[in-house]
Amino acid sequence: MQNKFTVIFSMTILFLVGGFSAEAQSQKQKELEAKRQQYMREIEQINSLLFANRKKEKSVISQVEDLNYKVSVRENLIKVTNDQANLLTREINTNQKEISSLRDQLKLLKEDYAKMIVRSYKGRSDQSKVMFLLSSENFKQAYKRLQYIKQYADYQKEQGEKIKDKTQKLQELNTSLLRQKEDKKKLIAQNKAEKNRLESERIEQEKLVASIRKNLSSFASQVKQKQQEIDRIDKEIDRLIREAIAASNKKAGNDASSSKGYALTAEAKALAANFEANKGKLPWPVEKGVVKLAYGKQPSPIDRTVMIESNGVRIATEEGAKVRAVFEGEVTGILLIKNANPAIVIRHGNYFTIYKNLSKIFVKQGDKVSTKQIIGEVFTNTANGETMLGFGVNKDLKTENPANWIYRM
């Protein structure tokens, strides 16, 4: 009997541990599914924003950049789907172990219950119970025997309930197992379809790269020229921020030439703190968009020996897209640069957000703006149909990664 209780106790512990593990796996599965949905939405936006307008003849450089980006997102989608399928395999194995454990527990419970029923049947008459009580040597013993009869009846009822609960749990796990197997089957089918699409995109990518290799020096020269134009605009933005910092320090009575940080008033400090508190939660500067070029130094997809330095991100969006301020602040300056499209710089305490490559501007220097207020419109290149917003975040003169600030960028 003791061995039997030991087995039941061990199984119960395993079942509880398995329950905690299943809960953790379920949470992980939700996280992976959220990621998978995010990548699928991103691919939809890439198709809509970068590949829908086939009438416009894009440069080979733009085509390679677009396809490289799409391939990288597709690879992420395949990876997360694989992770989901693998996790489902582990969940299925866990459920199968729990089902096996429950069946063993149910078998033991039913065996014990059957023995109790036999014993109850043999001593079922009320007369037997009365005789059992009357044969007591004293009142104390009679009381104890009465308690025993009651406890035995309660125990029978409890065992019956346990059998009922475990049978129900077994049925639920079996249903869950069938659902998980069906989910896994769907994920594998979806992954197969995504891999086929990826293969097709890679073939197209290889063709484009092969055409570039024939005249690599010319394409590399175009990339360098484009980088020089971006650097020229970034220098002007840097100059404008330096002037704003110097002016703030002069107004505060500080040495404007030696100070590297914006002199904050109490109001500006509160605004900066509010801006910091919303890190990772700021809205996108356009309603619909995908990040075509990330922040930081990265090799060019055209020539891996040529490095691209990006002080912000480049967001592909739709034609006529309106630009929104990502947070309340003040328009520090509007850049009108020769042979380049306008840019707007907005100050949020000692933080600055930068909006480049605009066609229209709806604000002026000194204006106070609110979160999501429309401040301009993104320029669309009529030759290739590209609508690309340059967006950056600075803390004083130091650039920051916008992806750390904008929600799900």
Delimit the domains of the chain by residue range.
Answer: 2-213, 226-404
DSSP-assigned beta bridge partners for residue 344: 334, 355
Residue 4: exposure state from Cβ atoms within 10 A (0-12, 13-18, ≥19): exposed
- pLDDT tier, 2 (very low <50, low <70, confident <90, very high otherwise): very low
* Packing angle of the helix pair 139-213, 60-122 (nearest 10 deg): 160
- Position 105 scores a pLDDT of 76
User: What is 2-213's CATH topology?
Assistant: Methane Monooxygenase Hydroxylase; Chain G, domain 1 (1.20.58)
- Considering only residues 24 and 370, tell me which one the structure prediction assigns the higher pLDDT: 370
φ, ψ of residue 285 to 5 degrees: the values are -75, -10
pLDDT of 12 strictly over 70: no
226-404 in CATH: which number? 2.70.70.10
Mean pLDDT over residues 347-375, rounded? Answer: 98
pLDDT at 342 > cutoff 60 = yes
DSSP, residue by residue, 98-128 = HHHHHHHHHHHHHHHHHHHHHHHHHT-SHHH
**What tokens were used for 56?**
């416009």
Mean pLDDT of 122-147: 66
In angstroms, how far is the first alpha carbon of the chain from the final one? Answer: 62
What is the predicted pLDDT for the residue at 277? 98
pLDDT, residue 380, reads 95
- Lowest pLDDT segment from 10-24, 91-105, 106-120, 258-272: 10-24
Q: pTM of the predicted model, to two decimals?
A: 0.70
